[in-house]
Chains A and B, each alone.
Chain A
Amino acid sequence: MATMRVTAAPELAPMKVAQISKPGGEFEIVERKIPTPDAGQVRIKVQACGVCHSDVLTKEGAWPGIQYPRVPGHEVAGIIDEVGTGVSAWRKGQRVGVGWHGGQDNTCRECRRGDFRNCRNMKISGISYDGGYQQYMVAAVEALVAIPDSLKDTEAAPLLCAGITTYNALRHSGAFPGDLVAVQGIGGLGHLGIQFAISLAIRWRPSAEGQKMRLSQRNSEPASTLTANRRMRPRNCKNWAAHK
């Protein structure tokens, strides 16, 4: 008997998601219907999503009001593959990302002052709605970040939480070129914080001994400065011995 091959519309085909179905639950890989963007939203074909320690909030239910099942992920890089009604500033095929700031209400006192970062009803991707641990996600336009062509998806994704957090903290810290910063913890955030500090001509020190950063060929010059495996002791730090 002959079979007919039918190419399903994207909305009908299933997609894979990694979800948490209850606080403290394990990751489940399940199939879901590809979501459709509402007015003011776009659908993103996800290419990469960073795994941030804050995903523990969704995994363990440590953030109030999470509705399960929930798909974590707030370091998303992908391509817009559908736009909802009323979306004019973003187009299909455009490379975009979504970070921690997943949307603001535009009506609270902070938003009315333009302080969207401190919106009282801020939405967070992967907490307030399903995030980037899936093949397609839907996000409101106010959450979207345009990704430059020179950055790969896997490079852009970590910059949307680990990167922005360290870059923004440094540039709002009051540290000027030539100043000294200490970076505590050389992990997902710290290894970027060190690179940003070097690029901003801010001297840095590790805040604990024995932490190593692997040299990168591409950034061989700054990376040589990143080698942090010698013992260093910030001046005036009386309690430094506690770190040994």
Chain B
Amino acid sequence: MSELIDGLGPNGKLMVIGAAFDPIEVTPVQLISGSRTIQGWAAGTPADSEDTLRFAELSGVRPMIETYPLEKAAEAYARMMSGKAEFRVVLTM
């Protein structure tokens, strides 16, 4: 994510939502010039989820998914970890 910081415009913000464990490297000068911001964001409340579902309903936004039966959870998880899924793996019961 470190490489993205120089791509931020004036007053630009890097919203960090990918839960990685490796550090983001940034110098104070990179943040000061252009008054840039880095912010983390975790999901939200169930009420926010309902907003999301309503917005999806109105806008037509839908996930693109690959489904696996519950019994193939290991395979489904491996597919997700491969990074090759297009784009969300979903278990069905």
> Hey, which bits of chain A sit against chain B, CB under 8 A?
16, 18, 26-27, 29, 45-56, 59, 73, 75, 78, 97, 99-101, 116-117, 132-135, 142-148, 150-151, 153-170, 172-175, 180, 182, 184-192, 195-196, 199, 207, 213-214, 216, 218-219, 222, 234-240, 242-243
Contact = CB atoms under 8 A, between A and B. Distances in A.
Interface string B6-23: 111101010101110000
Contact of B13 (A56, A174, A238): A174
B30 to A, nearest CB: 10
B46 A190 contact: no
Given A159-B63, A207-B4, A50 B57 contact: no
A130 B90 CA distance: 17
B32 interface: no
Contact of A148 (B53, B76, B92): B53
B73 A145 contact: no
B70 A135 contact: yes
22 contacts: A26-B74, A48-B67, A49-B93, A51-B73, A53-B19, A53-B81, A78-B93, A99-B49, A117-B43, A135-B93, A162-B88, A163-B63, A167-B48, A168-B44, A170-B15, A172-B15, A174-B13, A182-B4, A199-B55, A199-B59, A214-B64, A237-B7
A222 B18 CA distance: 24
B88 A165 contact: no
Interface string B31-60: 000000001011111101111111111011
Contacts of B46: 99, 101, 142-145
B9 A51 contact: no
B7 A117 contact: no
A164 B89 CA distance: 16
Contacts of B4: 182, 184, 207, 237
B41 to A, nearest CB: 4
Nearest to A205: B7
A188 B88 contact: yes
A188 B43 contact: no
Nearest to B18: A185
A189 B17 contact: yes
A172 B37 CA distance: 13
A36 B60 CA distance: 36
A133 B92 CA distance: 9
Given A51-B77, A133-B70, A173-B15, A46 B93 contact: yes
